[in-house]
Amino acid sequence: MSSIVVVDDDSDIRGLLEFKLTAAGHSVTAEADGEAGLAAIMDVRPDVVVLDWMMPRMSGIEVCLELRKDPSMADIPVLFLTAKAQESDVQRGFAAGGNDYVIKPFSPRELSSRIDALLARTPR
């Protein structure tokens, strides 16, 4: 069982991912803002983080940059799940240390497959 932290201020998406990923056999922690998300990541040390970009208190980009600064969390795969769809946004997401980028509206099935792929690529 892998542990996943989902950080998204949209309660519908948080709820959906919690159900979907739990049904897929993962342990899920969901938070609604960047600060709480970062705290949860530091606490849980998950196998994958799903991060929204635009959130209160701390953006997903800021959370990702914080993770990459900390050597103990620098290798945790981060998947951005965001409505920011411009080419330059995608570039910024990867430049901040993101490992994958999914644009909203999104397919939960595709997201689940991408998380599986990230997990398969990450040595544990």
Q: Which residues bind other proteins (CB under 8 A)?
A: 10, 12-13, 15-16, 18-20, 22-23, 104-110
Plot region of 25 (φ>0 → left; ψ -120 to 50 → alpha; else → beta): left
In the complex, the smallest distance separating the C-beta of residue 73 from other proteins, rounded to whole angstroms, is 28
Q: Which is nearer to other proteins, 20 or 68 (CB)?
A: 20
Instruction: Give me the amino acid identity at 49.
Output: V
In a 10 Å sphere around its CB, with 0-12 CB exposed, 13-18 middle and 19+ buried, how is residue 56 labelled? exposed
| CB 97, CB 65: distance < 8 Å | yes
Q: Considering beta carbons, is residue 22 or 91 the nearer one to other proteins?
A: 22
Minimum gap (Å) between residue 4 Cβ and other proteins = 14
Residue closer to other proteins by CB (options 4, 67) is: 4
Least Å distance between CB 39 and other proteins?
Answer: 25
